Amino acid sequence: MKTWAAECAFVTPAITSKEEHDRNGPLPRPSELRGQLRWAFRTVAASFLNVEELRRVEAEFWGGRSLGEEGIRPSPVSVRLRRGVDERDVELGDRCARRRGRPVEVDESGRLRVTNRCYLCPALYLRSRPLVIRAGATFELELAGLRESALKAARRSLELLSLIGGYGRRFRRAFGCFEVRASESSTQVSGVSNFLERLEECLDGLRRIIVKDSDGASGTVESFPNFSRATLWVFEWRGYVGKLLNNLGRALESARRGSLRRGKIPGTSVELRWLLGSSPVKRNPGWLLRSPLLLSVTPVELGPVNRGRLVVSALLLKPRRLHPGRNQTVEVSESVWEEVEDALDGALKMFRGLERHRVEVTEDRVKLVQG
């Protein structure tokens, strides 16, 4: 079995629950990281494979049951935690933060506090008091694979997750972003242009691995978020990480409360603002909807007290079908996504140097087009 290990460091605070920590031990949880690596792999594969081929390829790399198989195929990849974050880097969040609707803000030292000024992170709505992993906390991760191609796919998935995602729930709003510090695959970048090059290289590397193991059954899984027609906003930030998170929270709330507030997906009662992520309130018809908007922070140069140069990205994956509730499927037209994009354009204009790119991932190529 081939192994590969790397040290990772949180760039922004990560949030989990005290119950999960008491039940599962050191943070971050390997099972949760593994699920997010699988999600990153599937998001790329769903851009150019049909449903049957996607299930077969995913089962080969991550285990599971593909179509036509009776048994469950074991996974050739394992994710292990060599060293979790130091207990001194984990603090118990404010009890008020778990009350539904209470806004939370990050101060300059990276600590969370309850405030009345902005709604920031819906991921804090947990059944128990939240645990906060401070920015700067490090952990060691080990990937092991029975096949070299499976290990390469897992490494590329980890790199992709660190560039556009993070540790935590899908509506985490740039919380839980981390960087990989392995010498041969560090995810630290030198600027916006270098970030775009790294992202294109990572997507293309993962695409090549998937295509090599596929049977050429092309298509697109329209009911799953994918890169076939995604939109990317990227800019550089200089200053405190906490202030960045607060400004991102305000920008998203301005979009949700502005032009998207009264708009709905045609033929449904699901409001457009839910596409930007919100708290899972059961009385709303979109409470199960997972936001297709991914926010991430990648370091250029990070100094003491969580201050430095950062590359910030907002990636909108635009599936043609969404699942706002159990046994519910909603068709989303291109005009709906255009309305959401216009709202994000207006909300993110507060950040200097904002660039907009169109991401295209097909079986033959990966392309990032500005504009």
| Model pTM score | 0.88
What gap in Å lies between CA 103 and CA 38, rounded to an integer? 32
The whole-number pLDDT of residue 182 equals 75
Task: Provide mean pLDDT across the span 237-251.
Answer: 84
A 10 A CB-CB count for 143 gives 24
The whole-number pLDDT of residue 220 equals 77
The whole-number pLDDT of residue 102 equals 47
> Which residues have C-beta within 8 Å of that of residue 173, sequence separation ≥ 6?
120, 121, 122, 123, 245, 248, 249, 252, 277, 295
Cβ atoms of 106 and 247 within 8 Å: the answer is no
Task: Provide mean pLDDT across the span 343-349.
Answer: 91
Higher pLDDT, 186 or 150: 150
- The tens digit of pLDDT for each residue in 97-125 reads 444 444 455 665 556 555 544 444 444 44
pLDDT band at 183 (very low <50, low <70, confident <90, very high): low
| pLDDT > 90: percent of the chain | 34
* Whole-Å CA distances, 281 to 107, 114, 268, 277: 27, 20, 17, 11
Peptide bond into 28 cis (omega under 30): yes
> Which residues have C-beta within 8 Å of that of residue 197, sequence separation ≥ 6?
none
The whole-number pLDDT of residue 98 equals 46
* Residue whose token pair is 């991550």: 62
User: Hey, what's the torsion of the CAs at 345, 346, 352, 354, to 10 degrees?
Assistant: 10
Q: Kindly write down the DSSP assignment for every residue of 187-247, as one continuous string.
A: ---SSHHHHHHHHHHHHHHHHHHHHHHS---B---TTS--STTEEEEEEEEEEEHHHHHHH
- The tens digit of pLDDT for each residue in 327-339 reads 777 888 899 999 9
Cβ atoms of 367 and 207 within 8 Å: the answer is no
Cβ atoms of 167 and 20 within 8 Å: the answer is no
The whole-number pLDDT of residue 289 equals 61
Beta bridge partners of 296: 313
